[in-house]
Amino acid sequence: MRDFPSCFGENGVQVADSSSSSATKASQNLVTCVYQCKFHGRCFLVTVTWTKNLMGQGLSVSIDDSTNQCLCKVEIKPWLFSKRKGSKNLEVDSSKIDIYWDLSSARFGPGPEPLEGYYLAVAYNQEMVLLLGDLKKEAYRKVDTAPVNLNSIFIAKREHIFGKKFYGAKAQFCDKGQMHDVTIECDTIDVQDPCLVIRIDSKTVMQVKRLKWKFRGNYTILVDGLPVEVFWDVHNWLFGNAMGNAVFMFQTCLSAEKFWASQSIFDPSLLTWSYSQRLRDNQLQGLGFSLLLYAWKNE
């Protein structure tokens, strides 16, 4: 199973299925974020993947054009063997793409994504098109350009989360929107009638009883006044082996029901990141933000 098929290819980060070994499961501590950037009328998709394993923290940046053609990909290996500060200069189709990063003072939580004390910048023909992190002044000095209003939109995020009964993540359901705490609760160990509960900022927004009969489904909730379609597939938790993961997708999209209604049945494979091509096409049409969570049970 591939990640974004247009760029990650055979050598890209692989998403393991429920038959994965514990070693593969441990290596899946990653967060992938997708940003739509525009420069002089040209549209790009910038995919940033943060990873964490026993070797340390890692980072990769890939850039696609509007035709899903991969322009470039840069991988920064786990920092045990590489620098936490650096740059990569590339020339693509007579255009210059520069990627700068400084994570030497970055502070991390339990996940692979830095919380503060860092920057990651992408410049196209020496003009900033994407800037992540809180060290913005340092980034503009490095790129040697004046601060501008960046025309970039956060459109999708995939994250692996871990737990036994409770699974947590943070999410913005619209670009530059309020950050929310997302909590998924489901106890499937020695429980005759498991129940699935999803909370946003500690408020229960969804509850699914008789989960063995409703292990896949969808439901619409409201967050920040926006309808958010929630899709879940917990089949592996209930009927798979101990290594199985559940999948949840939160789709902020006024027209999401039209997209999913085009499917004759609810197919759990639609929730996998390999289906992201059509999902990204819909994102490019302005249909909203998508959060995809892979929930793994800790042993």
> In this predicted model, what pLDDT tens digit does every residue of 36-63 receive, in sequence order?
988 777 788 999 999 988 888 899 999 9
Judgement on whether residues 169 and 242 belong to the same structural domain of the protein: yes
> Is beta strand 196-200 parallel, antiparallel or unpaired with respect to 203-208?
antiparallel
Of 150, 167, 186, which residue constitutes the final position of a domain? 150
Note whether residue 8 is domain-resident: no
Give the residue-averaged pLDDT of 28-35: 89
* 16-30, 83-97, 136-150: the lowest-pLDDT one: 16-30
What is the 8-class DSSP label of residue 87? E
Q: Assess contact for 252 and 157: CB atoms under 8 A.
A: no
Do 252 and 139 share a structural domain?
Answer: no
122 occurs within a structural domain:
yes
pLDDT in tens, 62-81: 998 877 788 888 888 887 77
Confidence of residue 253 (pLDDT cuts 50, 70, 90): low
pLDDT tens for each residue of 179-238: 999 999 998 877 788 999 999 999 999 999 999 999 999 999 998 888 899 999 999 999
Q: Please indicate, yes or no, whether residues 38 and 144 belong to a single structural domain of this protein.
A: yes
- The answer to the question of residue 6 being in a domain is no
CA distances from 222 to 179, 197, 198 (A): 15, 15, 12
Range of the domain at 252: 159-297
The answer to whether residues 279 and 238 belong to one domain is yes
| Average pLDDT score over the chain | 78
Confidence of residue 240 (pLDDT cuts 50, 70, 90): confident
User: 3-class SS at 271?
Assistant: helix
Model pLDDT, residue 235: 92
| Nearest CA-CA partner of 30 in 7, 12, 9 | 12
Q: pLDDT tens across 138-158, in order?
A: 999 998 887 777 878 888 999
What local confidence, expressed as pLDDT, does residue 10 receive?
29
Whether 246 and 292 have beta carbons less than 8 Å apart is answered as no
SS3 23: helix
SS3 state of residue 148 = coil
Give CA–CA dist 172/209, Å, rounded: 27
- Sign of dihedral through CA atoms 247, 158, 295, 273? positive
Q: Among 132, 150, 168, which residue terminates a domain?
A: 150
